[in-house]
Amino acid sequence: MAERENRRDRREREETPEFADRLVAINRVSKTVKGGKRFGFAALVVVGDQRGRVGFGKGKAKEVPEAIRKATEQAKRSMIRVPLREGRTLHHDIEGRHGAGRVVMRAAVPGTGIIAGGPMRAVFEMLGLQDVVAKSLGSTNPYNMIRATLDGLKKEASPRLVAQRRGKKVGDILKKPETEAAAETAEA
């Protein structure tokens, strides 16, 4: 009986995860029709659980709240999982590209904070990163910057994933070459 209740609690938690969302950009767009112009709004939203999952979405509607709602729903459907080191930073330096936008992201020591601008900062905050240094090169278009950031984050690999892919143990991958050489000379 207790097992069934535990399963039900776990299922409820999985179905209703707590997501934070951040409105990155809102744009007034127009459509020219026979009688003149019809105005609407386009919204760009980043959604994340602040524990390693993040996604972005865009929505268009005649009213701002409806555009934001559509963008948020799309963002929740397009989420990706990113492995974080110690739950606060990246495992390694990465670069992402989309169109003319290029972003460089580097792991940082504790206490550094999020050193990134605009849309990239929103992605990192929703992802749950606390220490990262990032630079945007090329396009300043928020759509391209977010896509480039997510492209880079998709390339992020934890030592566990690398070890699994290579068929080795995590300890074998994390060994430093200097320590192995020192151990060999000590044995000889």
Helix, strand, coil percentages for the chain (3-state, nearest 5) = 40, 30, 30
Note the pLDDT tens digit of each residue in 31-83. 999 999 999 999 999 999 988 899 999 999 999 999 999 999 999 999 999 98
Supply angle C-alpha 160, 79, 148, rounded to 5.
85
Q: Report the predicted TM-score, pTM, of the whole model to 2 decimal places.
A: 0.80
What's the confidence (pLDDT) of residue 122? 92
What distance in Å separates the CA atoms of residue 59 and residue 71, rounded to the nearest whole number? Answer: 4
Query: Which residue has 């999985």 as its token pair?
Result: 14
User: Which domains are delineated in the chain?
Assistant: 2-164 (3.30.230.10)
Q: What is the DSSP letter of 48?
A: E
Residue 53, SS3 per DSSP: strand
Question: How many Å is the maximal CA-CA distance in the chain?
Answer: 89
